[in-house]
Amino acid sequence: MNVNSAEMTGVVESRPRALEILDCLDGEYSNNIARDIRDGLTSSPRYIPCKYFYDARGSRLFEEICRLPEYYPTRTEISILREIAPHLMETLDYSDLVELGSGSSLKISILLDAISETNRASMRYIPVDISESAVIESSKDLLERYPELPVLGVVADFMCQSDVLPAERPKMLCFLGGTIGNMEEGDSISFLRAVSGNMRSDDTLLVGFDMVKSREIVEAAYNDSRGLTSEFNRNILNVVNNKLNADFKPHLFEHLAFFNESESRVEMHLRASRDVSVRLESIDMEVEFKEGETIHTENSRKFTIQGIEDMVDRAGLYVQDWYMDADGWFSLVLMGRKPSGSV
């Protein structure tokens, strides 16, 4: 779909400047939940796609996780962003700043703070997310803070709809937080390739990657002492309950998170603490769990410099700038599109 043909669902009333929302979802998304959950719970081992973590409660829990001392990715990425913001934003007037998977208005405001009000008024912030409420939330914060900033919220599944983005001006796309690590290698390359296919030659793409580090540090980040990650993990069962009229009892499932070093990823699972049977009314499905049986809920890949370089190259992109913290825990990689013909 293309922006011009996208349906306008209306202008959200809000005190500062008008927020425009483009709804590009094609209705397939909601139907997919039934299929995704059926596929996931009938395969072996069972899984639930991690995009279903993020209902209102899940998003709130994730935000709290980001403030935990053990959860190093957020603060490390923020410290890098603070350092590079002035340099990154130097050339960004009269451009679009696109955030894929909105929800980190703090990170975007670090970038916007680095430029003048006049320059901000000449740009546009475009949060893109599958959840309309996430788009509105991240827009509202920024509109309040920067009344001069034009904001266009785009509701779309950017994993498969990277063609919904406007192209009349140069843009910097941001995909922060290490979320690219949730995708399998092949999917992340197809995703980057799809994005690069919709980039102009003067566009840039800034991607956050969580790097490989010691098992202790990584595992602590996903097994926090306050148990928030455990709550976050089990909340996916509440989401399934609500969406599919199911009767999962989240407290009968234990949170499991470990660093699978040979796959270079953290895995999260839910393990039945006793025999459990679950009914999913809306899809007329019954699932039996034996004690100890698991549901795989998330992979969070940890990257090496070489691994990122290979991926970037295979996606038709090249590395323009590479930013890392002193410990090498997190990377922000600024990419450009390779001239066509050189892919």
Alpha-carbon Rg for the chain, nearest whole angstrom, is: 20
Among 182, 188, 196, 331, binds ligand AVJ (CB under 6 A): 182
Alpha helix positions (H), the chain: 28-42, 56-66, 72-89, 105-113, 117-122, 132-145, 185-197, 215-221, 228-244, 305-314
Which residue's CB is nearer to ligand AVJ, number 40 or number 181? 181
* Closest CB 73 distance from ligand AVJ, rounded Å: 6
- Interface with ligand AVJ includes 162 (CB under 6 A)? no
**47 binding ligand AVJ? (CB under 6 A):** no
With CB under 6 A as the contact rule, the residue among 95, 104, 161, 229 that binds ligand AVJ is 229
Choice between 1 and 66, CB closer to ligand AVJ: 66
User: In terms of CB distance, is 247 or 261 closer to ligand AVJ?
Assistant: 261
- Let me know: does 3 contact 22? Beta carbons within 8 Å: yes
Least Cβ distance, residue 16 to ligand AVJ (angstroms): 28
* C-beta of residue 3 within 8 angstroms of C-beta of residue 96: no
The rounded distance, in Å, linking the Cα atoms of 110 and 113 is: 5
Identify the residue among 52, 191, 222, 289 touching ligand AVJ (CB under 6 A). 222
**Site membership for ligand AVJ, residue 298 (CB under 6 A):** yes
Nearer to ligand AVJ, 222 or 248 (CB): 222
Residues in binding contact with ligand AVJ, number by CB under 6 A: 11
Smallest Cα–Cα separation from 325: which of 90, 75, 70? 75
Least distance (Å) from ligand AVJ to the CB of residue 127? 16
Does 179 help bind ligand AVJ (rule: CB under 6 A)?
yes
DSSP letter string, 253-314: EEEEEEEETTTTEEEEEEEESS-EEEEEGGGTEEEEE-TT-EEEEEEEE-B-HHHHHHHHHH
Cα 32 to its chain centre, rounded Å, is 19
Structure tokens at 233: 């993990």
If binding is defined by CB under 6 A, does position 239 make contact with ligand AVJ? no
Are 133 and 110 in contact by the 8 Å Cβ rule? The answer is no
Over the window 61 to 100, marking each residue x when it contacts ligand AVJ by CB under 6 A and - when it does not, the resulting string is ----x-------x---------------------------
- Assess 230 for contact with ligand AVJ (CB under 6 A): no
The Cα angle at residue 88 between residues 82 and 92, in degrees rounded to 5 = 130
Residue nearest to ligand AVJ (CB): 300
Window of 20-28, 175-183, 195-203, 283-291 that interacts with ligand AVJ by CB under 6 A: 175-183
* Smaller CB separation from ligand AVJ, 243 or 269: 269
Say whether residue 178 binds ligand AVJ (CB under 6 A): yes
